[in-house]
Structure 1
């Protein structure tokens, strides 16, 4: 029975990695669609989000089944419970990538944000993609150094997010009301995407080290 349980835990990890890798693809395509006004990629992200949702739901059902059948304790229990929370965060990251793509879709063939903000969003998108890639690697390897790298990149996303708000609220902002709404929504989506990655990284670090206080985050 113990061997079966360990095999199930490995399957849980494999499924988390699979979902995380799909999130990487989703945010890569979403940020490209957003920055380049690529409606084909935007539609692809929107259509593919159902797959992430379906895999996350299936993983949740597996985790609940393991809890009911195996009745794990101590660290094994924390792993299974953390899986449910990590799965929810990954699913939300997929949703946020979809929201970014939807903005590109709604504004096509125009760009979503004015020219003055495009370099900022290009950088935010690049950071989100790097964070997603590191997160998939973290879930695959449990290399806690990646958790710290994710948090560092999230700090930079937070700075850019604050900069967007400062610009759209500044006296020199000349954008239309729709530009203001789009910029603030898009910035929030990018920022929340990174926040969810930090939350997952914190959980993985705790499972690997047993030290919750050494990592900040949601």
Structure 2
């Protein structure tokens, strides 16, 4: 029974890595669709979100089944409970990628944001993609250095998010109401994507070290 239980825990980890890897692909495609006004990529991201949702639901069912049958304690219990919470955050990250893609599809064939903000959104997108890839690797290896890198990347995302607000509220902003709303929403989606990555990184850091202090927001 113990061997079966350990196999089930391994399956939980593998499923988390699978979902995180799909999320990384989705945010990469979403940011490309957003920055390049690529409607076919946007449609792919929107379709793939259903797959991410389904995998998250299946993982939750597995974790709940393990709790009911195995009644884990100590670290094993923390692993299963954390998997449920991580699954939820990954599903939300997929939603953020979907929202970014929805903006690209809605504004096609135009770009979503004015030229003055495009460099900022390219950088935000690159950081989100890097964070997603690091997160998948973190879930696979529990390398706590990756958790620290994710936290640092989030600080950069936050700074860029703030710069978008300063731009659209500044006296030199020439965008219309629709441009302002789209830029604000898109920036928020990128920022929330990163926040969920940090939340997951904290949980993995805790599981690996028993220390809940780092990485901080």
Per-residue deviation, 1:19:
0.2
Q: Which residue is equivalent to 2:164?
A: 164
**How many pairs were matched up?**
217
Q: Equivalences for 1:23-172 in 2 at 5 Å?
A: 23-172=23-172
Q: TM-score, normalised by structure 2?
A: 0.99
Deviations along 1:4-45, one digit per CA (max 9) or x if unpaired, are 110000000000000000001100000000000000000000
What SS class does the counterpart of residue 173 from structure 1 fall into? Answer: coil
Q: Which residue of 1 aligns with 2:200?
A: 200
1:96 deviates by: 0.3
Which string of whole-angstrom CA distances, capped at 9 and with x for unpartnered residues, describes residues 56-80 of structure 1?
A: 0000000000000000011110000
Give the Cα separation in 2 of the matches to 1:84 and 1:168.
38
Q: Which ranges of structure 2 fall in alignment gaps of 5 or more residues?
A: none
Instruction: Report the counterpart of residue 19 of structure 2 in structure 1.
Output: 19
Separation (CA, whole Å) in 2 of partners of 1:165 and 1:76? 43
Task: Say what the alpha-carbon RMSD is for the aligned residues.
Answer: 0.5
State the alpha-carbon separation in 1 of the partners of residues 195 and 6 from structure 2: 30
| Residue of structure 2 in register with 1:3 after alignment | 3
Q: Distance in 1 between matches of 2:157 and 2:215?
A: 18
Q: Which runs of 4+ in 1 moved over 4 A?
A: none
> Distance between the aligned counterparts of 1:214 and 1:176, measured in 2?
42
What's the offset of the Cα at 1:171?
1.1
Compute the TM-score of the two structures, normalised by the length of structure 1: 0.99
